[in-house]
Amino acid sequence: MLLTVTSLFCITTTPVAIAIVISSFSPNLIPLLAWQFLILIQFINHSLNVLMYISVSAQFRNQFMMVMCGCCMRGRDRGKDYSKSGSSIATVSSNVTESVETKVM
């Protein structure tokens, strides 16, 4: 897990670092479209990090669900352990959806 996150970070951050160094010597060398692409790569990195942590770490998954779905649960299932419901994101989200639907009805 740590190796994957670190590798992904290095792959997505190195081009931006190189572009910053190049632009410090020649500001107009890198076009705007290239900068936008490099920033997009970094946003993708941040998005993938969250998904990787949710899929691997049960503790992170529990805290994430408490923070993101806390307003929907209104205190009933805030202490629920989502790591026992399965390790996939789809399983966790379906369990939360069922919990919210039963409270609405």
Q: Are residues 77 and 94 in the same domain?
A: yes
Q: Are residues 35 and 77 in the same domain?
A: no
Q: Which pLDDT band holds residue 104 (cuts at 50, 70, 90)?
A: very low
Q: Are residues 65 and 104 in the same domain?
A: yes
Q: Are residues 92 and 69 in the same domain?
A: yes
| Residue-level pLDDT at 22 | 92
Q: Are residues 8 and 37 in the same domain?
A: yes
Q: Which pLDDT band holds residue 81 (cuts at 50, 70, 90)?
A: low
Domain stop point among 56, 72, 92: 56
pLDDT tens profile 6-65: 888 888 889 999 999 999 998 889 899 999 999 999 898 888 888 888 888 888 888 888
DSSP states along the chain:
-HHHHHHHHHHHHHHHHHHHHHHHH-TTSS-HHHHHHHHHHHHHHHHHHHHHHHHH-HHHHHHHHHHHHHHHHTTSSTT--GGGG-SSHHHHHHHHHHHHHHHH-
Q: Are residues 24 and 62 in the same domain?
A: no
Query: Taking the model in full, what pTM does it have?
Result: 0.55
Q: Are residues 62 and 101 in the same domain?
A: yes
More confident residue, 16 or 79: 16
Domain limits for position 50: 1-56
